[in-house]
Every structure is written in structure tokens, then in C-alpha cells.
Amino acid sequence: MNPYLDISTEVQEALAAGKPVVALESTIISHGMPYPQNVETALNVERIIRENGAMPATIAIIKGRLKAGLSADEIEYLGRKGYDVTKASRRDLPVLVAKGEDGATTVATTMIIAAMAGIKVFATGGVGGVHRGAEVTMDISADLEELAQTPVLVVCAGAKSILDLGLTLEYLETKGVPVIGYGTDELPAFYTRKSGFGVDYRLDTPEEVAAAFRAKLTMELKGGMLVTNPIPEEYSMDPDIINKAIDDAVAEANAKGIKGKQTTPFLLAKIKDITGGDSLASNIRLVYNNAKLAAQIAARL
């Protein structure tokens, strides 16, 4: 057992009994939306996973401890603390643990801690990827490298549409990460169902997805699997409106010199402002949709 890892009692019991468990990230709590909406959303996501037959395991770093499974009080703590919590990727783990500090886990860090705990399925909103202009800035999310090496299945609504989706897919192909379209031949673009880019394979049921990932694990192939689940039609945003908002937000970020780990939170907040809050409402609904699918896959895995 990792000496820095704490697995909650109910998650431990579920894992020991071979019951399905779904990991959840905590960046969405501290950096994804304002309090108290962040806490309400996190608790709703956990409820949806339970209703679909799995055990939720929200993941974070609290006072230097790697946590797999948070209490309601711990979720409230992260939600209230908000941006004062470090947005923690792989590089941040050693220092946060050594100094006994808090960290909200990104996709990459959630995958790492989930794998330590023995959790194979993870639900999130959207994954990071290759940022626009990366051929100059080299701004590529650590999420992609984690997908290449850590054996966790990630359910998302596609890559965030603030990214260069074509280059993100090329990177994943180079790293050998299967990109699955759940009920779709086209990569979803987070706020919208279509991007113009194809996926590697279309699978239409939780059973098919679970079987593919089970085969990957059995063959001991390195890395995870990315399952892209389109936002429900009724919550999908108009592509022209959201793409214009994204272009405006990216231009402002470049003008202000915003770089690195601050880029995504800035862009998402700016897009929320430009769209009058519509993007946040869509974000919440796609997370709920992903939680449901992840629980169904985990139950069959």
C-alpha cells in the first residue's frame, strides 16, 4: 500500500468485494465553478454514480494525503477554498505531499491516484490536450501523457474545444491511446456534439466498451482508453456561438500573456461570461451524462 494514500472505508469495501467504482476529479470543484454550485454539482455526480450501480471515489490531495474517496465535509472544504487550492498535475504531487498541502486533481493526477487505489474507470468533463499554437508554445496537457501510460478508462465529453482538436488526436494516436466514440463516429467537442474529426472506433453499449478495455488490460497493453461521450442533444450549444466565444477568449488570453496551468481556468471562465452562463450549464449536464455512462461501464467491467 502506498504510504501517502488514504482510501475511504466505503471505497475500500467496494474494491475488496469486486464492486464497481468510478473515480472523479476535484479540479472541477475548486477551479471549475463558483461556490456553492461546485459542491452541489460534485455531490450530484456522486449520487448519479450510486444510482447507476457503482461507488463514487472523488479524488484529491488534502493536507498532503492522497485521497481516493472524499466525505461530504471534504468536498465542502475544497469547494469553499476554491482557487486557493493548488491545481495539481503529476509534477505537483511530490511537493504537495512533502509540504502537507492541498491539491485539486486534474485528469492526469486523478488517473495516477485512481490507479494506485486499484480503480479502473474515471468520469470527467473534458480532457486536456494540445493547445492552439502548441507548435510554438509546446503547451500540451499532461493528461495526454498520462493516458499513454496509466491503465485507467476515462469517460469524457471529448477534448475541450479551446484546444487544437486535430493535433490532440494526432498526439493520442502517436501514443497508442484508443479514442472511442460512444454512439458516435465523430469526436465530440465538449460543449457541442460534433467537431469535424473522426474517432478511432465507435462502440454503442457499455458492454462493448467494457469488453474492449478488459481485452486491453488482459493483454497488459500500457496506457488507458479514452471514451468520448457526446453532450446530450438538449444541452448542446450552437457551434457558431461557442466557437466565437472560444476565439474571443483565446485572443484575450494571448493579449494578457496567460500561459501554462492558468490557461484553461481563464478560458473557461471567460467563455462562461461571454455566453451568459450557458457554457457552465452545459458543462454541468455533460458531467452528469459522463458519470452515468462511467458507472454503467464500471458495472460491466
173 given a catalytic annotation = no
Exposed (0-12), middle (13-18) or buried (19+): which is 176, by Cβ within 10 Å?
Answer: exposed
Return the CATH number at 301.
3.40.1790.10
Looking at the structure, do residues 85 and 149 belong to the same domain, yes or no? no
Quick one: which of 128, 89, 129 has its CA closest to 105? 89
Its domain, for residue 212, covers: 125-301
Exposed (0-12), middle (13-18) or buried (19+): which is 299, by Cβ within 10 Å?
Answer: middle
* pLDDT tens track for 236-265: 888 888 778 777 877 887 788 877 667 777
Looking at the structure, do residues 153 and 289 belong to the same domain, yes or no? yes
Instruction: Kindly state the DSSP code that residue 103 receives in the 8-state scheme.
Output: E
**Full-model pTM:** 0.92
Quick one: which of 129, 83, 133 has its CA closest to 104? 83
* pLDDT tens track for 50-77: 999 999 999 999 999 999 999 999 999 9
pLDDT recorded at residue 4:
97
Exposed (0-12), middle (13-18) or buried (19+): which is 265, by Cβ within 10 Å?
Answer: middle
Catalytic residue, chosen from 160, 270, 272, 292, is 160
Looking at the structure, do residues 161 and 97 belong to the same domain, yes or no? no
Provide, for the chain, the percentages of residues in helix, strand and coil under a 3-state DSSP scheme, each rounded to the nearest 5: 50, 20, 30
Looking at the structure, do residues 74 and 216 belong to the same domain, yes or no? no
* Pairing outcome for strands 153-156 and 86-88: unpaired
Total number of domains constituting the chain: 2
Instruction: Kindly state the DSSP code that residue 102 receives in the 8-state scheme.
Output: -
292 given a catalytic annotation = no
Q: Measure the CA–CA gap between 279 and 213, rounded to whole angstroms.
A: 31
